[in-house]
Amino acid sequence: MPERPGNNNTKNQEKASAVLAKLILAFQTGELPAAIAQTVITGPGRPSARWSLGNRIIMFLAGTEDARGFQQWQQVGRRVKKGAKAFYILAPTTRTVRTRVREVDPETGEEVEREVCRQIITGFRYVPVFRYEDTEGDPLPSCKPSQPPPLMDVARRFVNDIRYEPFMGGWYGAFSPGRSQIVLATHDAHVFFHELAHAVHHQVRPGGLQGGQQADQEIVAEVVACALCELYGYQGYLWHGWQYIQHYACDGEKALRRIMAVLAEVEKVLLTILDIAEPTNQEEKIA
């Protein structure tokens, strides 16, 4: 675990206490700034993002994080190197089945018959794909922001890889302890701060984080993210943060109690980040 420098500890303690008090007051009173729209990274993304878990494991065992078919590589301006060998994933074979069903028409109340088409899986076939490392040509489009968020240097102390990928639905960011990786599908600093908090929490918490989206862990990460947004001048995310916390606490009344129950862990994570962070010329806006 990275060492925490102690020279600014007192100053950072005061800073953390002030911003956390400000957040709790805002949550108690409901006086939250207007929410800004959350953004996502658009683009086709990697085909493997939609593969089954089994196929993704096959890809990782092949030693790559991006594999595509021959024509898929050509579509992004890359070509498979001469002599490269494919590995194989499984794809379902399907056929359309037409059946007739009887149901009640909601307008007339009469029973009617209609034809329904559905796809059924009839088997599986092997599909050859090639590793990114076995291709050459145009560089893949970059999803990185033109201006990285603050504390990126701190995050690299806790994870080996930080990457941006197109939004595929379901999540804006993810932290993987096993792979020591943060993946982001948005350029919003708030999401980065949330995943950074998870990465730090995983190291400062005895035994690390539990697998899955545990409510207390999510609340710690979100409160830390809201605090960092306040410290670094990112306005408009507090509303989203409060909604997120309420979701994991089940309701607003329980949310404040859940925050207070994990406040010591919140402060520990926040202080760890602030103690490691490089001094910034940006003026913190703490009332």
What range does the domain containing 91 cover? Answer: 47-137
Mind listing the pLDDT tens digit for each residue in 138-158? Answer: 988 888 898 999 999 999 999
Residues 121 and 227 in one domain: no
Indicate whether 101 belongs to any domain.
yes
User: CB-hemisphere CA count at 13 Å for 219?
Assistant: 24
- Per-residue pLDDT at 119: 84
- Per-residue pLDDT at 284: 43
Task: Report d(CA 122, CA 74) in Å as an integer.
Answer: 30
Tell me whether residue 101 is exposed, middle or buried, using C-beta atoms within 10 angstroms of its C-beta: 0 to 12, 13 to 18, 19 or more: exposed
- Per-residue pLDDT at 146: 87
Domain edge (last residue) among 117, 137, 157? 137
- Per-residue pLDDT at 279: 58
Residues 31 and 60 in one domain: no
Domain edge (last residue) among 137, 168, 197? 137
Residues 184 and 149 in one domain: yes
Mind listing the pLDDT tens digit for each residue in 236-282? Answer: 899 999 999 999 998 767 899 999 999 999 999 999 999 999 654 44
Mean pLDDT of 36-48: 84
Residues 159 and 269 in one domain: yes
Q: How many domains does the chain have?
A: 2
Residues 117 and 197 in one domain: no
Is it the case that residue 106 has pLDDT exceeding 80? no
Residues 249 and 154 in one domain: yes
Residues 83 and 214 in one domain: no
Residues 173 and 218 in one domain: yes
Is it the case that residue 178 has pLDDT exceeding 70? yes
| Strands 87-104, 111-131: pairing kind | antiparallel
Lowest pLDDT segment from 56-65, 111-120, 152-161 = 111-120
Q: Which residues neighbour 78 within 8 Å (Cβ) at sequence distance 6 or greater?
A: 135, 136, 137, 138, 140
Mind listing the pLDDT tens digit for each residue in 89-103? Answer: 999 998 888 888 888
| Strands 181-184, 161-164: pairing kind | parallel
- Per-residue pLDDT at 8: 64
Residues 123 and 52 in one domain: yes
Task: Report d(CA 62, CA 56) in Å as an integer.
Answer: 10
pLDDT class of 6 with cuts at 50, 70, 90: very low
Mean pLDDT of 4-10: 60
Mind listing the pLDDT tens digit for each residue in 13-24? Answer: 999 999 999 999
Residues 147 and 70 in one domain: no
Residues 101 and 150 in one domain: no
Residues 213 and 192 in one domain: yes
Indicate whether 3 belongs to any domain.
no
CA distances to 3, 205, 269 from 272, rounded to whole Å, are 9, 12, 5
- Per-residue pLDDT at 209: 94
